[in-house]
Amino acid sequence: MSAPTREFTHLGRPRKLIDGLERITGRSRYAGDVQLPGMLYGRPVLSPYAHAAITSIDATAARAVPGVVAVLTAADLPTSGRIYTSRQTTTLAAGEVRYRGEPVALVLAESEAAATDGAAALLVEYDPLPVVADHSAALAPNAPVIWPQGAPKEADGADLTAAHAATTEGATVQRSGSPSNLHERKCYERGDVEAALRAAEVVIERTYRTPVVHQAYLEPHAAVAHYDALKGTLEIFTSTQGQFGVRDEVARLLGLPRSKVNVTTMTVGGAFGAKYGILEPLAAAASVAVGRPVRVTLTRTEDFLTTTPTPATEFRVRLGATRAGDITALDAAIFLDNGVYPFTLGGIVAMLFGGYYRFEHLRIEINEVLTNKPQSGAYRAPGAPQATFAIESTVDELAYTLGMDPLALRQRNAAGPADLTGEGEPWADMGLAECLEVAASHPLWVNRASECGPGEGVGLAIGGWPCGNTTAAALCRVDTDGTIRIHVGSVDISGTNTGFQLIAAEVLGVPPEQVEIVAGDTRSGPFAGPSGGSQITYAVGGAVAEAARAAKRQLLEMASQLFEASVEDIEIREGNAYVRGLPARAIPVAKLAETAQDKAGGPGPIVGEGRSAPEENAPGFVVHIAKVHVDAETGRVTPLRYVAIQDVGKVINPLLLEGQIHGGSAQGIGYGLYEAMRYDENGELLTATLMDYTMPRASELPPIEAVFVERPSPHGPFGARGVGEPPITAGAAALANAVRAASGARITETPLRDEVVWRAIHAV
C-alpha cells in the first residue's frame, strides 16, 4: 500500500466501514430478516429436467399440508403472458421447462417449514425433451432448437444491466433468419486481418475455454414483496445492487405505475453482478396474487440452480506480430454459452479482448449461443476474466516465442488513452502505461529469476475495465447540531457510503464523524445507477461532492454575515469557520446552520443538491503479478505471492480500497484456479452446493499486495476511478502465465485444475 497523498485532510486516510460494527456483530438486517404482519413464506418447486414438457401439476397433496395457503403456477400470476425472460428474472415456467432448476410453482405457507413440506408434496409430471447442454451441442447440425418460434425478445423498459450493457455499435450483426440456437453473430472488424496475418512474422494460434462460474455471494437471493390493493402500492425489500432498476422492471412486469412501487434495499451480503433483480418479480407477483406479503429466500442449491452465472466461453485466437515485437493483427471467433435466454455479453468481451493493445488489424466474431442452462448474467467485470485470460495468455505466449520480456512486450504494444478498444471506440483517459511502469520496477517482477525455486514461476497479466458513468444526484443537509446528512439513492455494497463520508468531510472541512449518509429507497433516495460497473464512487461520489459544495456555499455566506467578512476570506476547518489569518475566532458549522435555519427573513435551513453526469467513463487498469509453485507430479498449482497494481485515479479510503483489491484478486484467483459449474450432458448441474463448487478459503490464498497508482480521472470526484471490478480481471491470466513460467506448460482452459495442468505438462 503506497503512502496516501497529503494534500487532503481526509481523503487518503484509512477509515473503517460506517456499518462495520453492525455487520460483524450480526446486527445488520438482510432481506431474509424482514418480517411483515401476515407475511407468507414462498418455496419454489424447481424442474428436475433441463428440458421437458410439463404434462400435469397436481397440488391436492401440497394444499393439504397444514400451513400451506396457496400453490401458485404461472397462470396464477399477474405477470402471466408478459415477456420478461431476458432480464435475469426468475419466474414460473408455463408448459415447458428449459433448464434444470427452472421454477415451476411457488408454494406459499405460514412458515418456511410448511412451505418446504408443501413443495415436497407437489406432484409435477414431465415429459423429457432433448437437451443442448453446451454451445458445441447447440450449434451442431440438426441440434434441437430451444426456441423454435425465436428467443423471447428484449422488452422495453430500463436496462437493469445498463452498466454492463453490450453495444453492437461498430459491429456487423447477423441474426439468423431461420430458428437456431445461435442467437446473434456479430463481427467487429478493422484493417485487413487476413492480409496482416499472412504478413506477420510470428502467428500465435490458440483456443481457450472457460466454464460457467458463479458469483457465489455469501447471501443467497431473498426478496419480500407487499402489495397493498387499497393503495395500489407495492413495497419491496430486497438484496439488490440497483433498486431503481428493480423498481422499473417490477412495475413493468406487473403493469403498475413506477411511482406505486417502492424498493428498499436491505444490507446486501455480496452480489458481484448477480443482484440486478431476480426474485423480486416472483415475490411481487405472488403478493399481488394472494393479497398478503410474501418472502422468498433461496437455499444455496436453489441459488446455484436458478440464478445467473457468468457464461462459459470458447476463444479461437490468432495473433500476428513482427519479430521485433510489434503486434499487428488479432483474429478471433468467440463463443458464449448464454444459457436459455439471450444475454449478449459479446460487445464488452470484444471491447476488452481487442482493447488492451493497439491492433491495427482486428476481427472479432462473437457468437451468442443459447443452451439448456440458466441464463447467464453479470459477474464482477462480466466477460473480462474470460477475455483477459485469452488475450493475455496469447500475448504471453508471443513473448516466449519471440524470446522477449513479457512486460517489455506489453509496454511496447499497450493501448493508451484515445487508442481504440476492440469495439472500435476510443478509450477514455486511462493509466495502463502507468501500471506497467510500476510493475516493471516491482521487486517480485525484477527479481523473479532469483526469487523462484524449483517448480516456481512468476507471471503477469494486464487487465482492465471500462467502468460505468450513470448519472446521479445527491443532497446535503446541515442540521443545527452540525450533523451533515448526505442523501443518496445508491446501494452500499463495498463501503461506498464510507467514501461519501470522506468526500463530504473533505469538501466541507468537517470531521468525517460529523457526516451521516442517508441512503434512501426508490421513493426517497435521489437517483443513482446500480452498484455495478464500478461506478458508485465515480458517479455518485461526484454528486455528493457537488451537494456538499452547494451546502458549503450557504455556510460560507452565513459565516460571511456573522464575521462581517467577504466569503472569499472564510475557510472551514475541522468543523469551524474562520476568517483566514484570524484563527482565534471560530464559529462552528452547527452555529452557522442554526443561525441560517432560525432567522426569520434569513436564508433558511442549509440544504444543497448536487448532480453528476460524467460525460465519459473512467477505465480502471491493473497489472497483476503472480508467483506460483507447480507440482509436476500432480499438476497442483499453489499460488505463493500476488501483487495487484491498479490505477485507482485517486485514493479515497485506502482501507476499503485495499479490501476491494484483496477481494477482487481473491475472486480472480478462485476463478483461475478453482471455480467451475459443471453440467452433465443432460444439463444436470453437478456442483450445486459449496461442497462441490470449490471456492478458495483464506488457506488457499497467497499474500496479496495492493499497489495504488493514481492517474486522476478527468471527471471523477478528486480524480477517483472505478475500482471494484478491475482487480478480478487479470487473475486467471496472471496465474496461467506464472504456470507457464514455472512449468513450461501453456494452459488454455480455466480453472487450472490439477488434471489439466498435469496433462499439459506431460502432453497427454
Residue pair 357/139 in contact (Cβ under 8 Å)? The answer is no
Angle in degrees, CA 269, 260, 375, rounded to 5: 45
SS3 164: helix
Exposure b/e, 155-164, CB count within 10 A at least 16 = b: eeebbbbbbb
User: Closer to its own copies at the Cβ: 478 or 733?
Assistant: 478
Minimum CB separation from its own copies for residue 360, in Å?
29
Min dist CB 229 to its own copies, Å, is 10
Nearer to its own copies, 66 or 255 (CB): 255
Q: For the chain, what is the total number of helices (H) and then of strands (E)?
A: 21, 27
To the nearest whole angstrom, how small is the minimum distance from the Cβ of residue 603 to its own copies? Answer: 6
Q: Of the two residues 116 and 483, which places its CB atom closer to its own copies in the complex?
A: 483
Q: How far is the CB of 600 from its own copies (least distance, A)?
A: 5
- Smallest distance, Å, CB 568 to its own copies? 23
* Contact present, 657 and 651 (Cβ < 8 Å): yes
Closer residue to its own copies, CB minimum distance, 172 or 524:
524
C-alpha grid cell, residue 544: 455528493
Nearer to its own copies, 190 or 611 (CB): 611
Q: Give the cell for residue 77.
A: 400470476
* Smallest distance from its own copies to CB 596, Å: 8
Strand partners, 254: none
> Cβ closer to its own copies: 206 or 485?
485
158 vs 203, which CB is nearer to its own copies?
158
Which is nearer to its own copies, 96 or 609 (by Cβ)?
609
Least separation, in Å, of the C-beta of 612 and its own copies? 6
Half-sphere exposure of 540 (CA within 13 A, CB side): 32
Contact 688, 304 (CB under 8 A): yes
35 or 441: whose CB is closer to its own copies?
35
- CB of 8 or CB of 527, closer to its own copies: 527
Cell of 37: 404482519
Nearest to 53, CA basis, from 93, 103, 21? 93
35 or 149: CB nearest its own copies: 35
Of 164, 160, 263, 272, give the one whose Cα is nearest residue 218.
Answer: 272
CB of 230 to its own copies, least distance (A): 6
Q: Which residue's entry shows cell 503477469?
A: 460
Looking at beta carbons only, is 584 or 600 nearer to its own copies? 600
How do beta strands 40-46 and 294-297 pair?
A: parallel
Closest distance to its own copies from the beta carbon of 577 (Å): 20
328 — phi, psi (to 5°)?
A: -115, -35
**Minimum CB–partner distance for residue 675 and its own copies (Å):** 34
- DSSP summary character for residue 115: H
Contact 487, 520 (CB under 8 A): yes
Provide the strand spans (E) within 251-309: 261-265, 294-297
For residues 145 and 371, the answer to whether their CB atoms sit within 8 Å is no
Other C-beta atoms lying within 10 Å of the C-beta of residue 484? 29
Between 38 and 703, name the residue whose CB sits nearer to its own copies. Answer: 38
Residue whose cell numbers read 450483426 = 173
431: phi then psi, degrees, rounded to nearest 5: -120, 40
CB of 26: closest distance to its own copies in angstroms?
Answer: 10
Shortest spacing between CB 592 and its own copies, in angstroms: 14
DSSP per position, 428-469: -S--HHHHHHHHHT-HHHHTHHHH--TTEEEEEEEEEE----
What is each CA distance from 347 to 170, 459, 476, in whole angstroms?
Answer: 10, 28, 38
Question: Minimal CA–CA distance to 75: which of 94, 55, 99?
Answer: 94
What is the β-pairing status of strands 576-579 and 582-588?
Answer: antiparallel
Nearer to its own copies, 612 or 653 (CB): 612
Distance CA 508, CA 501 (A): 11
SS3 (DSSP) at 639: strand
Minimum Å gap between C-beta 716 and its own copies is 13
Direct distance between the N- and C-terminal alpha carbons of the chain, in angstroms, rounded to an integer? 43
* CA dihedral over 655, 659, 662, 665, signed as positive or negative: negative
For the bound state, the minimum distance from the C-beta of residue 619 to its own copies, rounded and expressed in Å, comes to: 14
Order of all β-strands in the sheet with 96-97: 96-97, 52-58, 123-128
Least distance to its own copies, CB of residue 234, Å: 14
- Closest contact distance (angstroms) between CB of 19 and its own copies is 9
Q: What is the DSSP letter of 8?
A: S
**Residues found near its own copies in the complex (CB under 8 A):** 21-22, 25, 27, 35, 37, 228, 230-231, 257-259, 469, 471-473, 475, 477, 479-481, 483, 485, 487, 516, 518, 520, 523-524, 526-527, 543, 597-605, 607-609, 611-616
Whose Cβ is closer to its own copies: residue 523's or residue 636's? 523
CA dist 214 and 385 (Å) reads 13
Structure-block grid coordinates of residue 666 = 481473491
User: What is the SS3 assignment for 709?
Assistant: strand
* Closer residue to its own copies (CB): 435 or 473: 473
